[in-house]
Amino acid sequence: MSTFTPNKSLQVDGWLDAIAWNEQSLVPVIAQEAGSKDVLMMAWMNRDALLETLRLGEAVYWSRSRQKLWHKGEESGHTQKVKEIRLDCDGDTILLLVEQKDGIACHTGEHSCFFMQWDSVSSNWQKISKS
Amino acid sequence: MSTFTPNKSLQVDGWLDAIAWNEQSLVPVIAQEAGSKDVLMMAWMNRDALLETLRLGEAVYWSRSRQKLWHKGEESGHTQKVKEIRLDCDGDTILLLVEQKDGIACHTGEHSCFFMQWDSVSSNWQKISKS
């Protein structure tokens, strides 16, 4: 059951301390499509990214390559509307349940970033046509 | 469609280089229940853990706290039978689809480790009864 509504005036508070930020002050975030339950991608958040996500109601990550906040879809249009946010037992991973705009999460144009699959016959990774 | 079968004699080879191991030579691994599609947990693998997973057909992680291979369920009995292994577009995250023995993935006895949920009313994390 979704209990999430964005809160534009949410302030930094003790709830941020429930998260076991890593040595780079980041936490891994799994994005799962709320309807299909497909795992779409994994990305990272810092405190500002999580705060922005909660304020905006859309996924905002920390881009490690560009070293800046990354409002997912800001260029592609493939935004992720947050339906639910979960935290794991030891506070070191976040799970976002999202509505994926256009159903495309991956920068390659695929639905999910997880479109390579281990193939036991060839003992190698193979692209799957439908991810 | 699952294409995974364990291969006891699988050797180290180029397929390991498809993975973008991090600076600690680890890769994050998302475990998702194959039937329910629930995200169960996030853990880490090094090369040996992935090789053992592929050989055994059950999830073997690298325990960062204990600094050793961790055959999930070796003590609790809550093993994870691998149905499918996926890799993401930039090779830096693995997704395992598993059959979770007894339906319990979390060391707390919960089905999934993601049993804390953001509650917009209290602006804090709340335990959910059914994860």
pTM, two decimals, is 0.96
User: Tens of pLDDT along A47-105?
Assistant: 999 999 999 999 999 999 999 999 999 999 999 999 999 999 999 999 999 999 999 99
Q: How confident is the model at residue B129 (pLDDT cuts 50, 70, 90)?
A: confident
Tell whether the model's pLDDT for residue B78 goes beyond 60: yes
- Residue A54 DSSP label: H
Q: Is the sign of the CA dihedral B100, B102, B105, B111 positive or negative?
A: positive
Is A110 close to B89, i.e. CB distance below 8 A?
yes
Write out chain B residues lying below 8 Å of A108, CB-based.
89
Q: How far, CA to CA in Å, does A112 sit from each of A10, B60, B114?
A: 31, 24, 21
User: Tens of pLDDT along A6-22?
Assistant: 999 999 989 999 999 99
Q: How confident is the model at residue B131 (pLDDT cuts 50, 70, 90)?
A: very low
d(CA A43, CA A73): 13
Average pLDDT over residues B107-126: 96
CB nearest to B87's CB, from A10, A36, A114: A114
ipTM of the complex: 0.96
Tell whether the model's pLDDT for residue A131 goes beyond 50: no
Contacts of residues B11-20 at CB distance under 8 Å and 24 or more positions apart, as own/partner, are: B12/B47, B12/B51, B13/A123, B14/A124, B15/A123, B15/A124, B15/A125, B16/B47, B16/B50, B16/B51, B18/A116, B18/A124, B18/A125, B18/B87, B18/B91, B19/B50, B19/B87, B19/B91, B19/B92, B19/B94, B20/B90, B20/B91, B20/B92
A85 pairs with which residues across the strands? Answer: A96
CB nearest to B113's CB, from A32, A88, A107: A88
Both tokens of A71, joined, read: 């409002």
Write out chain B residues lying below 8 Å of A90, CB-based.
113
Write out chain B residues lying below 8 Å of A86, CB-based.
114-118
Write out chain A residues lying below 8 Å of B121, CB-based.
3
- How many whole angstroms from its chain centre is CA B16? 17
Q: What is the mean pLDDT of chain B?
A: 95
> What single string gives the DSSP state of each residue in B104-127?
--STTS-SSS--EEEETTTTEEEE
Give A126→chain B minimum CA distance, Å: 9
Q: In chain B, which residue's Cα lies nearest the Cα of A41?
A: B88
Give B88→chain A minimum CA distance, Å: 4
Tell whether the model's pLDDT for residue B47 goes beyond 60: yes
Instruction: List helix spans (H) across chain A.
Output: 47-56
> What single string gives the DSSP state of each residue in B88-110?
-TTS--EEEEEEEGGG--STTS-
Average pLDDT over residues A109-121: 96
Is B118 close to A7, i.e. CB distance below 8 A?
no
Average pLDDT over residues B32-45: 98
Average pLDDT over residues A112-125: 96
Give A89→chain B minimum CA distance, Å: 5
CB nearest to A116's CB, from B28, B86, B126: B86
Average pLDDT over residues B41-65: 97
Find tokens 């191991």 and name the residue.
B21
Give pLDDT, residue A129: 72
